[in-house]
Amino acid sequence: MYEHPFSREYWAQAASEFKNLRVLLFAALMIALRVALKSVSIPLADNLRINISFFINAYGAMVFGPVVAIAAAAVSDTLGCLLFPTGPYFFPFILTEIAGSLIFALFLYRTRVTTLRVTLSRFCIDFLVNIVLNTPIMWLYYRMVLGRSYALFDLMRIVKNVVMFPIESVLLTLFLGVVIPPTRKLGYLVSDADELTFNKKSVITLSLLLAVGVAAVALYVAYRQGGKA
């Protein structure tokens, strides 16, 4: 158990997971599930869907840690593109898969899993990965592969991530609350966990993070309107 990932012992433990056959078999299962579920989503509204594979991503990263998670993300992204292509292959997209898996692992691997940690992990992915990291990659993809222009600040994509963040956080918390007990009994999980419920502190945190996202969108809209004036 570690309070934070900023120690040599933490990374030595994470690297040692490559020597654990049970962990590698579990990682292979998670890779297969991620690839199979990559195109499966829950529709909420027009152009608004919850992709199922991120549940498996978080679950796997929590069990086998950041080092194996990086390798698993790279393999699952490559296999997904080969088996279920949705367009021209563009290598830099692998960085978003790796970053998402790494963030989940840093928040959930060998630590006390709490609702707050789950919420923060999802917020970091929606903001740092889906918006900050993915934006220049999408710009390069449109320019180099499709030969088209791409707006660096895609308002609809930003709003989508802000809207999805609380929904995905709640669903992920409920999912992990179900899978953690049996996973620990099977000996695959060392991480401890509080009862994953939404108490006053977690609700306030979720609301504050949502407010930050909404404020960012509002500032962006004001900036764009001011630039057009």
List average pLDDT for each run of 10 residues in the chain, which is 229 residues long: 90 95 95 86 63 91 96 93 83 94 96 91 92 90 88 75 85 91 86 69 84 77 63
∠ CA 167-169-170, nearest 5°, is: 70
DSSP readout, 148-200?
Answer: ----SS-HHHHHHHHHHHHHHHHHHHHHHHHHHHHHHHTT-----B------H
**pLDDT reported for residue 7:** 93
**pLDDT reported for residue 227:** 57
- Residues with Cβ within 8 Å of 144's Cβ and at least 6 positions away in sequence, in order, are 90
The domain 8-41+53-228 is placed in CATH, from the list 3.40.50.720, 1.10.1760.20, 3.40.920.10, 1.10.486.10, at 1.10.1760.20
**pLDDT reported for residue 140:** 92
Q: Where are the domains of the chain?
A: 8-41+53-228
Q: Is 152 left (phi over 0), alpha (psi -120 to 50) or beta?
A: alpha
Q: Cα 136 from chain centroid?
A: 18
**pLDDT reported for residue 105:** 96
